[in-house]
Amino acid sequence: MRSSLVMSLIGMTSMALALLVGCGDDDNKPVTSKVGQSCARTADCDPGLSCIGNVCYKMPPPAAGGGSGGGSDLMPPVLGGEGQSCTSRLDCVDGLDCFNNRCTAPVSGDAGASGTPTGPQLGLRGESCRVNSDCGKDLVCVATAVAGTGVCDLLNFGVEGTGLTCSGECTKAEDCCQLPMALHTTSIRSCQDIADAIAKDSIDCDAPAAGNPAKLCFQQATYCKCGDDTWSCDEDTHSCVYGVECDDTAGLDAPTGCPSHSRLYDISVKTCNPDSKTCVGAGVTECSNDKSCLGKQVVDSTVDDLCTEDECTCYSGNHQCYRKCARDIDCGAGQICDAKAEVCKPDAACVTDSQCAIANRNVAFKCNEGTCAQSCESDRDCSPSGVSGAFAGKVCGADGFCAVVAQDCNEDSQCAPLTVGGLKPFCVTPAPAGGDGVASAITN
């Protein structure tokens, strides 16, 4: 009996000791954050530290009478050294930048890293960031493909469109009087070469022999000794127009014939028209009024289609015969009838902003004078700048819509030849795309 009691006492003592040992085991205690490390609440920090702004700080002893004391004694967070991780320049020690989420020594010319910092050092263009306030003046934080990270970049690019492009063959008639590169040969490369060849062979350009003599005389008169009416420069297209009356039996590049080339372009299709005696093409049937269209080809018909009485109108824009319209339903898809000119013209692509938003699946697209265009408040809305993505050649225009400036020029000197070694174009206002875009009625 006594032995049983003793054994029971020993067992109870062992269990109590085991419990005491278990209570004293700290293997499962949560690991707390040290000074400068992250936290969500003060309990996440080591004893004596407080969690402020998700960072553990060392607080001063409470002042007499209670309170936490002044905040000026807060221990600063631990900042990253070179090569250590960062999400913005604010995470790095003074003098380091934050590129690609690593604290990095400043590159040459980085003014933000020089001198003694006097305040928060904000990110320069190309540095990593989390929010706009991480970036310097006139910069915003642009999201990257990596979630939660961004890069400081320009909001506006400082690029202004001119509305001019290197697309002009001429700006005045005198520009057209230049020997085209396409007519250069091994011996003829200038007007002086033509004059020397004519003198050497004693060619009489008032009555030149057929073949090369006639060709040399035509080229001299057409490109070297141009008269007042030899060429004109079209005000809308800035292209050279040959103005000398021609003979449809003469052919190309021969006296009384038509030129095969203008200053920049091959115009061999513009042969002599037997009716008008102008170099506009043999198949072109120009008109002067509606009655003159009788018996002439409908210009945009693909079959043999001659105008009957009162069927066609002579469009003043190009002096060509079109089948006239009276109502919108006389015209094809996407066209309406211009009642005054009696020809079909393209309909506006939009009337409301809703049409553009739905068609482009983007509410930034709005109706701008009948055409859907992307609206904008800054250049960043239209294109990356080149740091956070390739520059797409678009900026925000003064009208609040994205404008393409990739082909813009400011002056003629910026225009490169269209072909290697060729003649240069002029910096001009480009011709409207597609011209007037008029068409015949599909029925009347």
Other beta carbons within 10 angstroms of residue 253's beta carbon come to 18
CA dist 313 → 303, 316, 317, 336, 342 (Å): 18, 9, 12, 16, 7
Residues 6+ apart with CB under 8 A from 3: none
Determine the Cα–Cα distance for residues 370 and 350; give it in Å rounded to an integer.
5
Tokens of 239: 């292209």
- Domain locations along the chain: 89-111+120-154, 355-428
Maximum Cα–Cα distance across the chain: 154
Q: What is the pLDDT, as a whole number, of residue 336?
A: 94
The full 3-state SS of the chain, as one line of letters, equals: CHHHHHHHHHHHHHHHHHHHHHHCCCCCCCCCECCCCECCCHHHECCCEEEECCEEEECCCCCCCCCCCCHHHCCCCCCECCCCECCCHHHECCCCEEECCEEECCCCCCHHHCCCCCCCCCECCCCEECCHHHECCCEEEEECCCCCCEEEEECCCCCCCCCCEEEECCCCHHHHCCCCHHHCCCCCCCHHHHHHHHHHCCCCCCCCCCCHHHHHHHHHHHHHCCCCCCEEECCCCCCEEECCCCCCCCCECCCCCECCECCCCECCCCCECCCCCCECCCCCCCCCCHHHHCCCECCCCCCCCECCCCCEEEECCCCEEEECCCCHHHCCCCEEEECCCCEEEECCCCCCHHHHHHHHCCCCEEEECCEEEEECCCHHHCCCCCCCCCCCCEEECCCCEEEECCCECCCHHHCCCCCCCCCCCEEECCCCCCCCCCECCCCC
Q: What is the pLDDT, as a whole number, of residue 18?
A: 43
CA dist 59 → 91, 326, 388 (Å): 21, 87, 41
CA dist 153 → 85, 132, 135, 157, 361 (Å): 20, 10, 8, 10, 27
Strands 97-99 and 102-104: antiparallel
Other beta carbons within 10 angstroms of residue 274's beta carbon come to 11
Low-confidence ranges of the chain (pLDDT < 70): 1-30, 40-41, 53-54, 59-77, 107-120, 433-435
Q: What is the pLDDT, as a whole number, of residue 9?
A: 44
Determine the Cα–Cα distance for residues 382 and 368; give it in Å rounded to an integer.
16
Determine the Cα–Cα distance for residues 260 and 271; give it in Å rounded to an integer.
8
User: Residue 64's Cα: distance from chain center in Å?
Assistant: 67
Residues 6+ apart with CB under 8 A from 254: 210, 214, 215, 218
Is the four-CA dihedral 122, 125, 127, 131 of positive or negative sign? positive
Closest CA to 438 of 280, 322, 310: 322
Phi, psi of 326 (to 5 degrees): -125, -25
Q: What is the pLDDT, as a whole number, of residue 60?
A: 53
Residues linked to residue 367 through DSSP beta bridges, in sequence order: 372
**In this predicted model, what pLDDT tens digit does every residue of 165-185 receive, in sequence order?**
999 999 999 999 999 999 999
Strands 426-428 and 402-404: unpaired
Q: What is the pLDDT, as a whole number, of residue 284?
A: 78
Residues 6+ apart with CB under 8 A from 107: 97
